Amino acid sequence: MENGRGSAVPGSSRAWSAPASILIGFVYIAGYGVLYLGATMLSALALPRLAPGAPKWAFSVSHGVLWIASVALVTWLMRSKLNRRPWAGMATPLPPTLGRFPLGFVAGAALLLAVFAVQFGLGWLRVTGIDSLSMAWPRAALGLFPSLGVGFCEEIAFRGYILQTLGERMPAWAAVLLTALIFALFHFTLGGFGPGFVVTVMGLSLVFTILRFATGSLWFPMGLHAAWDWTQTFLVGVGNVGARPGHDPALVHVAQGGPGLWVGQAPSIEGGLIYALAAAAALAAAWAYAAARGRLPRWGLPLRPDGTQ
């Protein structure tokens, strides 16, 4: 199999043509949504039958585990068996790079907490209640499972499979921007979805992508992404504003004020300008880090099947 530069890829006989590979990519996008719904329905319907009387937290655990396992399996089948490309292109090498996941998680939580702190200082965010640690921390800990699912699955799907499939067939700049747009539009069902949300989420996608190249893997972006979801849902409930009483799982409950243009609308809080500024700051930091390490993408070149250039 040729990698587009005249060299064979070890352990692979041939690759699909460019149109076929892109078509497989679109099938994968549709299948990704089906996998999420399937994991949700299977957890909701099968768990009560398989484990009658199971505690409510078992749903979060089973959903997260099923989602991660199914996305990992399907991605491997698509990449290795249909595309006939090496798994190395998915940028998920195991130790020692796996240790970058918790570092990414800390960075993601710190970034979002800084945004919340600014809103609190401006009077745009007001704390309405804090649950007791004995009640809230078990929920927050269990919330790690769905949040880890978001971080792992969305990164392996978009900055892994989609970016790599496109990047082998076009210049890196085009693959990166197209992946970012697809990723943003994939969230169209969220309440509050709009142009501001699309711009911010595309910016975050660029952050995740630059960090993939800068660190040599997706583990740091996965951690950052998981923390972004977990912090606004289970730690400080900014993403839960407007939820029905008893349906906010966060440790800290808040009321949202301030201009809608700046703070967005839950659950799509990324539509607010303050989150766009945070994404821009994160992008600048990621870009500077990648440049300092000499690992910025060469934008005019495609990706090799192993994810390098």
Q: What is the pLDDT of residues 176-187, one digit of tens each?
A: 999 999 999 999
The tally of CA atoms less than 13 A away on the side-chain side of residue 192 is: 19
Check pLDDT > 80 for residue 15: no
pLDDT, mean over the chain: 89
Mean pLDDT, rounded, for 276-288: 98
pTM: 0.88
Check pLDDT > 60 for residue 9: no
Q: How confident is the model at residue 28 (pLDDT cuts 50, 70, 90)?
A: confident
**CA distances for 255 relative to 66, 115, 129, 234, 240, angstroms:** 33, 15, 10, 15, 9
Check pLDDT > 80 for residue 50: no
Mean pLDDT, rounded, for 195-218: 98
Tell me how far apart the terminal alpha carbons of the chain are, to the nearest angstrom: 17
Check pLDDT > 80 for residue 11: no
Check pLDDT > 70 for residue 283: yes
Residue 8: CB atoms within 10 Å: 10
